[in-house]
A and B are shown apart, each in its own frame.
Chain A
Amino acid sequence: MEEQNCMNGRIEKHPILGDLTPVQEVTIYFEGKPIKARAGEPIMAALLAAGVGVFRYTKKGSPRRMFCGIGRCTDCIMNVDGLPGVRTCVTEVRDGMKIERQSGVGIWRVSDSEGDMHGER
């Protein structure tokens, strides 16, 4: 499984920034599996810390994860709560959020009016 090949983790101790301070935890679901995330962090960080190596596949099946990390390049887009194309590097986690890999441009799983209730689209 690629999750194991691309191992990552939290930086608990840091010589300049000090110990990682505990914050409120939220649970997000990646492909149905629960993942603990730190409140306020972007989806990208939570998935990376959980060892998720591939965020999406292009329509030709080529894997992608992240590139710029600040919302410019759209490399890290995923399906979030039914909406495809969500930039996971600038979208904060929310308790109960459902995140799935998308293929190509992805599939819209919510109605348009429902989509308006969400943040990123």
Chain B
Amino acid sequence: MERDNKPAVVIGAGPAGLCAAIELKKAGAPVILMDENSKPGGQLFKQIHKFFGSREHKAGVRGFDIGKELLEESMTSGIDVRLNTEVVGIGQGLSIWAVENRTHAYTMDAAKIIIAAGATENALSFPGWTLPGVMTAGCAQTLINVHRVLPGRRVLMVGSGNVGVIVAYQLLQAGAEVAAVIEAAPQLGGYGVHTAKVRRAGVPFYISTTVAKAEGVECVEHAVIVKVDSKFKPIEGTERMLDVDTICIAIGLTPSIELAGLAGCKMIYVPELGGNMPLHDEYMQTSIPSIYVAGDIAGVEEASTAMEEGRLAGIHAAWSMGFLSEQEMLAKTDIARQRLLALRQGMFGFKRLSAKERIVLQGKSR
């Protein structure tokens, strides 16, 4: 097979993008990894908790240590990493439009494009939600774990999913008080291990409860929470005032599909994985030949699954560029797939597994 000497361009240097670039580089394919941030690693460096899964999935290893390992691997392998580089468009014929240091724009033709743009945290609007002190849980997590600054003294966490309970615990570790974790659904949403740690620390959890409003002049001075009925309508008379200066929103993420949309990738709506996302097959190929997706953009899951999806995309791209034999590609793909399967186990994993199978089933017949 003739080799394509145009580079594969990987967009986003988080766990998915780093792994995709590493696989391409290992196969000997020319690869360029672009990221708009000044540092690679995506959101890995704010994950200071230990990961789940088996040893191959870095279970028991903290997110930032996985980030360090991945960075070392990508640096020593000599991947062309372009930081402070925003990809602002993908044109016809796989051309990339990038802006470097926010001042210098250029275009480049790619042999393959792997979009690993991640996801964006969802907002929740309620009276007072624009006040200083209301922020996403991920924002608070970045502040405390990466920048080592406390966003506030006393925090209300809205949402009891994994992000909510993990960040609530990390806020406690950082020295903040957590006034409560509230959950609109009638049951808690996070892994028992994480939830139990926050509960043991004495933080109250309120189910069937939402935030009614935040009040304050120049910043949040208190929050009012309220019980909701089975249709999520607030029940009058159940309001309770909480003395907090910070309200963290942890109600889910939405895949960052802008670039894939610009490129014309077909989308599929999968609510359990965060909304609209590019349709893709079992090799992470989208409806456009030569454009792949991996990680949260292909359905919001976890850093560990993002890494394996990145590998799948990188392996297949390297094969289609002529840098791996079909046998090598299939063998490597099989390993990554087995790991993904193992990561998508259990009550939470099974829901993600069946959603992913639905996407791939449609993606195959695209």
Which A residues are within 8 Å of any B CB, using their own CB?
2, 5-12, 14-17, 20, 41-42, 44-45, 48-49, 53-55, 62-73, 75, 89-90, 92, 116, 119-121
- State in angstroms the CA–CA spacing of A50 and B13 once bound together: 31
Known: A6-B245, A8-B151, A16-B62. A71 touches B136 (CB 8 A): no
- A selection of 15 A-B contacts at a CB cut-off of 8 Å is A2-B219, A7-B153, A8-B151, A9-B150, A11-B148, A12-B148, A16-B48, A49-B149, A68-B138, A69-B142, A70-B142, A72-B120, A72-B121, A90-B38, A119-B103
Interface residues of B in 145-167 (CB under 8 A from A): 145, 147-153
Q: Do the beta carbons of B219 and A6 come within 8 Å of each other? A: yes
Residues B219 and A54 in contact, CB atoms below 8 Å apart: yes
Smallest beta-carbon distance B339→chain A, Å: 26
Contact in complex: B135, A71 (CB < 8 Å): no
Q: Is the interface of A mostly helix, strand, loop or mixed?
A: loop
Apart from A6-B219, A8-B150, A72-B121, 20 more pairs, CB < 8 Å: A2-B219, A5-B219, A7-B153, A9-B149, A11-B174, A12-B148, A14-B174, A45-B148, A48-B149, A49-B149, A55-B132, A63-B132, A63-B218, A66-B135, A67-B134, A69-B138, A90-B36, A90-B37, A90-B38, A121-B102
A70 to B140, CA, bound (A): 11
Beta-carbon contact of B102 and A119 below 8 Å:
yes
**Residue of A whose beta carbon sits closest to that of B86:** A71
State in angstroms the CA–CA spacing of A73 and B133 once bound together: 15
Q: Is the CB of A41 within 8 A of B147?
A: yes
Q: Are A63 and B151 in contact (CB under 8 A)?
A: no
Q: Is B238's beta carbon under 8 Å from chain A?
A: no
Q: Mark B122-144, 1 if CB is under 8 A from A, else 0.
A: 01000000111111101110111
Mark out the residues of chain B between 105 and 131 whose CB falls within 8 Å of any chain A CB in the assembled complex.
Answer: 120-121, 123, 130-131
In the bound assembly, the distance between CA atoms of A90 and B55 in angstroms comes to 34
User: Complex: how many Å from CA A65 to CA B220?
Assistant: 11
Is B101 part of the binding interface, using a Cβ–Cβ cutoff of 8 Å?
yes
**Closest beta carbon of chain A to B122's beta carbon, Å:** 10
* CB–CB B143/A45 < 8 A: yes
Q: Which of B123, B132, B136 contacts A6 (CB 8 A)?
A: B132
Query: Are B149 and A45 within 8 A (Cβ)?
Result: yes
B5 CB contacts on chain A under 8 angstroms: none
User: In the complex the two chains form, is A68's CB within 8 Å of B173's CB?
Assistant: no
Per DSSP, are chain B's interface residues mostly helix, strand or loop, or mixed? loop
- CB-CB under 8 A from B174, the residues of chain A are 11, 14
Closest Cβ of chain A to B166, distance in Å, is: 12
Q: Is B43 an interface residue (CB 8 A)?
A: yes
Q: Are A6 and B139 in contact (CB under 8 A)?
A: no
Whether B139 pairs with A70 at a CB distance below 8 angstroms is yes
Asked whether any CB of chain A lies closer than 8 Å to the CB of B175, the reply is: yes
Interchain nearest-CB distance for A28 vs B (Å): 14
Name the B residues within 8 Å of A119 (CB-CB).
Answer: 84, 101-103
Q: What CA separation (Å) do A116 and B245 show in the bound complex?
A: 39
Chain A residue with minimal CB distance to B145?
A: A17
Please give me the residue from chain B that is nearest to A53 by CB atom. B219
Residues in A whose Cβ lies below 8 Å from that of B149: 8-11, 45, 48-49
Contact of A14 among B102, B138, B148 (CB under 8 A): B148
Contact B136 A17 (CB under 8 A): no
Chain A neighbourhood of B135, CB < 8 A: 65-69
Whether the pair A65, B136 counts as a contact (CB closer than 8 A) is no
Q: Which residue of A lies closest to B140 (CB)?
A: A69
Closest to A9 in B: B150
CB-defined contacts of B101 to chain A, threshold 8 Å: 119
Q: Which of B143, B173, B175 contacts A48 (CB 8 A)?
A: B143
Beta-carbon contacts under 8 Å, B63-114 to A: 84, 101-103
What's the Cα separation between A62 and B128 when bound, in Å? 10
Residues of B within 8 A of A45 (CB): 143, 147-149
Question: Nearest-CB distance from A54 to chain B (Å)?
Answer: 6
Assembled-state Cα–Cα distance A43/B282 (Å): 42
Q: A5-B219, A67-B136 are in contact. Are A62 and B48 (CB under 8 A)?
A: no
CA distance A2 to B217 in the complex (A): 9
Q: Which chain B residues lie closer than 8 Å to A55 at the CB level?
A: 132
A90: B residues at CB distance < 8 A: 36-38
Asked if A65 and B132 sit within 8 Å, CB to CB, the answer is yes
A1 → B minimal CB distance (Å): 9
Whether B133 contacts A71 by the Cβ 8 Å rule is: no
Flag B322-343 by CB within 8 Å of A: 1 or 0 each. Answer: 0000000000000000000000
Q: CB-CB < 8 A to B103: which residues of A?
A: 116, 119
